[in-house]
Amino acid sequence: MGNLAPKDVAVSPEEKFKEFLATRGKRLTQERGIVVRAIFSDHEHFDAEEIIARLDKPSDGNRVSRATIYRAITDLEEAGLIRRVAHINDREVYEHDYGYPQHDHFICDKCNKLIEFRNDEISDILDRVAMEMGFRLSGHRLEASGICSECAKPPTRRHNKLDMI
């Protein structure tokens, strides 16, 4: 997930999910546990299809149905462990929310790259405006779109022999 380091948390995402499921009268099944471990095994943005592809390897014994993966993602979002960041190429992109500091995103309109950043001034402005309006702020989410530095580079022009005439 960009260059943001995870915070130390007292309870693992799997244990936190187990607690959430218990409040809903559900339990952490083996399949749900596999999904949570797959999602939290790295710190990258992901979509459901990436998790499905990762868990569609019958040889490792971690095969989980598409429906279970989609339901688990919905439950993880409701539990506050992950959050939807953007809708890119007809897919919902998620990131870890539990154990990560508040941050915002730039989304490239050309290559769909997600760039994470932290800026305390943005948070300060929102806190001040919320206070002025008597609004209790519980968090924020900023997603700005534009063109990343790679996509903004001018195309390199190839010279051919006719250009030299």
3-state SS assignment for residue 107: strand
Tens-binned pLDDT, residue by residue, of the chain (165 aa): 445 666 667 789 999 999 999 999 999 999 999 999 999 988 889 999 999 998 877 666 667 899 999 999 999 999 999 999 888 888 899 998 887 778 889 999 999 998 989 899 999 999 999 999 999 988 888 889 999 999 999 877 766 666 666
Predicted TM-score (pTM) of this structure: 0.74
Name all domains of the chain by residue range, CATH numbers in brackets.
1-101 (1.10.10.10), 102-165 (3.30.1490.190)
Q: What is the pLDDT of residue 58?
A: 60
CA distances to 85, 109, 152, 157 from 147, rounded to whole Å, are 17, 6, 6, 20
User: Percentage helix, strand, coil, to 5, in the chain?
Assistant: 40, 15, 45
